[in-house]
């Protein structure tokens, strides 16, 4: 592997960075997969986030926005 982090590693690093914010509200997030062909990151929301009415907003305005800023290869983040 090269010295540069893979896209998946960078995606995981962003998730690790935002995880404490979700955990503070009783939720959590985990990476399910990153599809390099489409640029789609699939995540699983857990805990309070899984049933929260604000989960879609958190996903798009929080997780997806941060992900796109830090990992330009990411086109979309979806919950599975």
CB of 32 closer than 8 Å to CB of 42: yes
Domains of the chain and CATH, by start: 7-79 (3.30.300.130)
Predicted local distance difference test score (pLDDT) of residue 40: 98
Q: Which residues pair with 77 in a beta bridge?
A: 41
pLDDT means per 10 residues, the chain with 80 residues, are: 76 96 90 96 89 82 94 96
Report CA-CA distances (Å) from 65 to 38, 61, 75.
17, 6, 10
The two structure tokens encoding residue 55: 């989960």
> DSSP states of the chain as a string?
--SSPPHHHHHHHHHHHHHHHHHTTTEEEEEEEEETTTTEEEEEEEEHHHH-TTHHHIIIIIIIHHHHHH-TT--EEEE-
pTM of the model: 0.87
């Amino acid at each position: 592997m090269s010295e540069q982090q893979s896209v998946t590693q960078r995606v995981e690093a962003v998730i690790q960075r935002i995880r404490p914010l979700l955990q503070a509200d009783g939720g959590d997030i985990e990476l399910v997969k990153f599809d390099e062909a489409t640029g789609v990151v699939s995540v699983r929301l857990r805990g309070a986030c899984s049933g929260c009415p604000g989960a879609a907003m958190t996903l798009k305005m929080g997780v997806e926005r941060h992900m796109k800023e830090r990992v330009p290869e990411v086109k979309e983040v979806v919950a599975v």
